[in-house]
Structure 1
Amino acid sequence: MGKGTVVHAAKVATLYVDETYSSKMLVDQTNSETKNVQINMGIIAPGAKHADHKHDSSYDEVYLIQQGRASVRLDGVEHELEAGDVVFIPGGSMHAIANRSDTEELVIFTVWSRLPEPGANPVYDLRLQEWGRSYKTVDEK
């Protein structure tokens, strides 16, 4: 049996992608014994919208809306979501997300069904480029 991991999000370093999106890697192979899952906390600025995109068909993704109100476009269909709602995004599906509030941040957890290979997840790749690894705490330089 493997060893479990507890992560306190407040102690995880934030990667600032741009003025509309920041990211905290919560669980992957660098801070746990997982070989099969990646969990990220994404913070989307008020009013921000992310363009339609899709991932390789071998990467399923799940959005868990933690805080705020979102619009998610999944294969051309718009869905309005709020805290507690979940979206399953099959690999290869076109999708986009927008923060429906002009004043509050949208906080989502994204869960990938396996660890991303280089080129599969641009934010994951940026984290490796900026930090040399995918996970670090606020106490690390």
Structure 2
Amino acid sequence: VYDRHRLDRIPRRYTLAAGDRIAATWPLDDAARYDLWLLGPNGFHRHFVGHGADKAVSWRLDAPTETLSLTLARGLKAVSLRHPDAHRGWHGDGRAHVLSLAKTGGWYDILVTDPASTTFRHRIAGRLETGRPSWSEPPLARA
């Protein structure tokens, strides 16, 4: 995990097994901002940028149903950057929005923004592992 406001510091590294959870805290900078970048195997990418008082975002990946459930606080907006149904966007209303990952081989790339904020930006990307055959990075599969 890279703290992009403190790149002079060594990134935090973790090794987790499937299903493991970890909780950690990072201090905000002097202006109460955060900018965290997480990288992992198989396209796993998380990038969280914003302010300490930002609205809540939560998501859940479910392998048996091959879905991603995304819950956004009121006022937030999400869009799928690589999904075949990318024309669909979701607006925050406090309920879960479910995206099927069956057409993408489990790949997802979601960007959440707050139209009222110039700094809020949460991106989650990667591949949901189901144990079934799939393909490498989706653009490579189309080549």
Q: Is TM more than 0.5 here?
A: no
TM-score by length of 1: 0.35
Query: Normalization by structure 2: what TM-score?
Result: 0.35
Q: Larger Cα Rg: Structure 1 or Structure 2? A: 2
